[in-house]
Structure 1
Amino acid sequence: MTRSRLLGLVLATALALTGCGATSGGSDSGKSEITVAGTYPIQNLDPASPAGGGNTGTNLVAQEIFSRLVRPKQDGSVEGDLATDWKSNSTATEWTFNLRSGTKFSHGSALTANDVAASFKRLLDLQSTNAKNFSGYTMTAPSDTQVVLKAPKPDASIPHKLVIFYVVPAKVTGEDPDFFKSPVGSGPFKLQKFDPSGTVDLVPNPNYYGGAPKLDKVTFKTMPELAARMTALRTGEADLIWGIPDDQLPQLQSESNLSVETVQSTAVFTMWFNSGEPALRDAKVRRALWQAVDFPTIIKQLYPQTGTLADSPISPVTLGYVKQEPVKYDPAAAKAALTAAGFDFSKKLRLQFANAEFRPFNQAVVSDLQKIGVQVDPLEKEQAVFTKDLLAMNWDVNFQQLSNPTYDAANTLGRLYTCEAKRNGYCNPSLDKLLAAAVATPDEAERTRLYGEAGKIIWDDAVGMFPMAVKYAYAFNKRLTGFTPDPNGLPDFAKVQVSGS
């Protein structure tokens, strides 16, 4: 073998061993590929489906495949996606959205206003979770580049509500499971492979109006077990995980090849009282139960990095947030108030929750209540059972990590605390009037003031206990650039790259 041929072979071998291009996920292909390990199942790719369309896993993938009229920014404000601009009439009952021209679906056909209007009608027809935000609304397409949304009553929250409305081709009607096995969208990625048991592969959409992403492939893997996600991150099987308990963060923060970031989320630990139950009808009783739990200490012990004592029923990154007066821990005063109200200490309260990760928190709450003689039965339920019992009001105290993908108080305060909602047994006509006025007011400062007043009623009447504002912790390979942690646990990968690729 000549010296030149030998040198060429050595160089070729060296390039092959180094991977030639900073790949991800342990691959030597030279491609820019990443793997995302999430906790939520992705069993359905249809975000409008009544069967799981509102799930976090579905929305995580849907935002990559499909476009929306508008999308949320990191600070909770709204920016255009398919829409370039929008405006309402003076009463906020009619909204006009102008669409960007030249937008195409991933298979190359043009996306027009007719596709947007048809997708909205489909959303309503399917009566999915998000459809409840648009009861009685209509959308028309006066031209190929404009849609008009009409509401039956003033609604200034419409742009925020639309951040979870996705556009599909107009020909798609009904649930159409065959279409969603290989869906066509106009988002930054398109589907390569979908395995409902837990894996989704996405590749760039060359027709994306914002330019095809730099990543060659994004793989989403469902890994509900924390140990599996942690191992996958350390071994390089996964490049990004989140939903990490505080006690695991120091170890990840010590590893030189990983970045760990926390972001204030839209989620608040919310523990509703069933005000329809005789034992919990009195606001003084509900307030006393709240006062009996040492939430500052529980948070410090369990969530030192990802939890802060809540001071509102909604998160600080939600439009309508106004700080309320903290409820001080005072078990002696709590027991005295319960006794004065004639509370039956022999009756057991049923505290329901789902997901094992919340078990220590709820056990701590039960322990504190027992210290003043309040008996509580903690009921950890499977998600389906939990949801069924939640809607049936088959509980006394209901724990949820309640997030808000719209970043607008209309989606939480306005949707869950009205007399009509019947979600927690609480009904206050004065609160209803405030919430109606808030959603009808186009001025954001005035909306915030009104929601602050509504939040004070909910807070002072102790419709529930609101212990903790949640931060989400993300851990990812340092080779990822352009990644931004998302306040809703729905990170976007359109601008993510692998350094050196």
Structure 2
Amino acid sequence: MKAILSAGLIALGSVSAMPAFAADRPDLVIAVADNPPTLEPAKELSNVGTRITYSVFDTLIRRDFLSGEGGSGSKLVPSLATSWKRIDDKTLEVSLRQGVKFQNGADFNADDVVFTFSPERLTGKESPLPQGRAYFGVLDHVEKVDDHTVRFVTKAPDPLLEQRLASWASWIVDKDDWLAKAKDKGYAQFPVGTGPYMLDEYRADQYIRLKAFDGYWGGAPTASTVTFKKVQEPAARIAGLVSGEFDIVTNVAPDQIAQIDSYGDVETRSVVLANSHVLVYNTHNPVLEDKRVRQAMNLAIDRKLLVDALWDGKAVVPNGHQYPEYGDMYQADRPNFAYDPEKAKKLLAEAGYKGETIVYSTEPNYYLNALPAAQAILEMWKAVGINATLNVVEDVDTIPNDQLMVRNWSNSTRYPDPVGGLWNTWGPFNSAQKTWQSWSPTTFNEVGGKLETTLDHDTRYKLAVQLMDIWEDEAPGTILYQPLETYGARKSLKWQPYTFYYMDLRPYNLKDEAHGQ
């Protein structure tokens, strides 16, 4: 068992024996619309959660968003692993970085890696990640070769194993620390990772404060503390940025960009995300069980109008559930989503739709423009004869599955490949099928399973086309657009947002000219 500093040296996840903070480092305050209810990295795989956990934890391999075409993050670079190689179609050997410390002073080694990817952590019935099999269902086991070498062995060939190790659900935890805290669920609020910042204070309904971990293997962090302050009102976030109260603000609406850019010392920084806002339909609901009704709902949505009216033309409507980041797996010639109200009316008539009420449920603040988008879509549906009403609630997940008809959601591509997008989010182990039980496809799951375990590119490409064809025909939901994610920031703060919700505050991506960095 590894040596761990005594509990007397640890307070709120920080270690008193760590070096004192440098006087010239800033205390950053980031105003966010919401904070996560837990910092357990295997559980809080959300837009608001990953922006924080990304700086507390490391993965074995890292996606490089700062180089390469368009900052797609397709390039993989070392992190806690220094190198990796394929032994055969089912085995990946990984060499681990030596001399790395966890934030509690414990040594990082192969035992932590084996445990992080164990069923207890990721895929078992009692694991903290309900959708664990969506990420690592193909993994058979991880074996320790020596203290700094491990082998990942899969059940079938996995073309994306390296990408999985660089993405969601792959943040490395300290085995002994996790086991000591898991019984009383203490790990969720007092996590320990190897990242550049460690937890200092946790009050999720008000703020979450991180402090620099000067023992970070990647170099001393460039901020002394980082506070994620919950400020739900967009106007209050902007006012705080302009006044100097906040250093960065999130979720800036497009119509607020010009206002922020008009000031001399602050500016906006925008990226179109490799993420889509989507709708989810309960295909088991009697009103929605005929796919022609769902197809009609999709055909009635004028996505270009939504983008122009709500996003100042700066969001993007993808041609299918895919992204250019997929490289040679991207279906560039795939037709765009159609807008055809007349065909929608015809399909409704063929399906025998008689004006039954369809309820669209949404939260008011979680997704930017969620409420105005819902209001606009309801009017588009009404224009083709759909009787739709809006249900605004604080937490859509509190609605029983059998009462949920339509909800909004977002789909991020976990890896730059169809397996990381459409298959991961709509497959049998993620929310649509497992949690909400809104869709129970057979052919879709068969095709996706083949796509996930096939190495030949041409065969995979055909399977990916088939998978998307099925999804669009069955219409268990639809894509609206890829949102524009805009941050407001001090001009003197050199920080680059990514096409993902990660907020990377590592030294290579965070400098403060106001503090001489």
TM-score (norm 2): 0.81
- Which residue does 1:68 correspond to in 2? 59
How much does 1:442 deviate? 3.7
How much does 1:406 deviate? 4.2
Given residue 381 of structure 1, which amino acid in structure 2 is its aligned partner?
Answer: V
- Which residue does 2:27 correspond to in 1? 33
- 2:173 equivalent to 1:168: yes
CA-to-partner distance for each residue in 1:440-474, whole Å, 9 max, x for gaps?
Answer: 13456764553233123212443322221222112
Describe how 1:6-17 pairs up with structure 2 within 5 A. none
Answer whether contact 2:214 2:220 (CA < 8 A) is retained: yes
- Which residue does 2:454 correspond to in 1? 441
- Which residue does 1:347 correspond to in 2? 356
Over the aligned positions, Cα root-mean-square deviation in angstroms equals 2.7
Distance (Å, rounded) in 2 between the aligned partners of 1:48 and 1:175: 16
- 2:478 equivalent to 1:465: yes
Q: 2:503 aligns with which of 480, 491, 494?
A: 491
Percent identity for Structure 1 against Structure 2? 22
- Which residue does 1:389 correspond to in 2? 399
How much does 1:237 deviate? 0.9
State the secondary structure of the residue aligned to 1:280. coil
State the secondary structure of the residue aligned to 1:126. coil
- Which residue does 2:424 correspond to in 1? 415
State the secondary structure of the residue aligned to 1:296. helix
- 2:391 equivalent to 1:379: yes
- Which residue does 1:242 correspond to in 2? 250
Decide whether aligned partners of structure 1 residues 418 and 211 sit closer, same or farther in structure 2, where only a CA change above 3 A counts: closer
State the secondary structure of the residue aligned to 2:316. strand
Unaligned runs of 5+ in 1: 1-28
State the secondary structure of the residue aligned to 2:278. strand
State the secondary structure of the residue aligned to 1:207. coil
- 2:79 equivalent to 1:81: yes
- Which residue does 2:155 correspond to in 1? 152
- Which residue does 1:126 correspond to in 2? 127
Unaligned runs of 5+ in 2: 1-22, 66-71
Given residue 418 of structure 2, which amino acid in structure 1 is its aligned partner?
Answer: A
Given residue 85 of structure 1, which amino acid in structure 2 is its aligned partner?
Answer: S
Distance (Å, rounded) in 2 between the aligned partners of 1:138 and 1:311: 37
Bigger mean CA deviation after superposition, 207-216 or 395-404:
395-404
Answer whether contact 1:271 1:466 (CA < 8 A) is retained: yes
Answer whether contact 2:320 2:337 (CA < 8 A) is retained: no
Distance (Å, rounded) in 1 between the aligned partners of 2:25 and 2:371: 41
CA-to-partner distance for each residue in 1:197-244, whole Å, 9 max, x for gaps?
Answer: 332333332222211122222222122221221111111111111211
Distance (Å, rounded) in 2 between the aligned partners of 1:286 and 1:180: 39
Q: 2:274 aligns with which of 266, 276, 290?
A: 266
CA-to-partner distance for each residue in 1:150-198, whole Å, 9 max, x for gaps?
Answer: 3333333333333222222221212554456554321112333333333
State the secondary structure of the residue aligned to 2:399. helix
State the secondary structure of the residue aligned to 1:325. coil
How much does 1:424 deviate? 6.1
Answer whether contact 1:322 1:455 (CA < 8 A) is retained: no
Task: Mark the structure with the bigger radius of gyration.
Answer: 1
Q: 1:224 aligns with which of 217, 232, 246?
A: 232
How much does 1:127 deviate? 3.5
- 2:391 equivalent to 1:400: no
CA-to-partner distance for each residue in 1:12-69, whole Å, 9 max, x for gaps?
Answer: xxxxxxxxxxxxxxxxx754232111122143232135xxx33444332222122221
- Which residue does 1:3 correspond to in 2? none
Decide whether aligned partners of structure 1 residues 290 and 445 sit closer, same or farther in structure 2, where only a CA change above 3 A counts: same
Q: Paired residues, what number?
A: 464
TM-score (norm 1): 0.84
- 2:352 equivalent to 1:361: no
CA-to-partner distance for each residue in 1:104-126, whole Å, 9 max, x for gaps?
Answer: 22344421111221233342352
Q: 2:143 aligns with which of 137, 140, 143?
A: 140
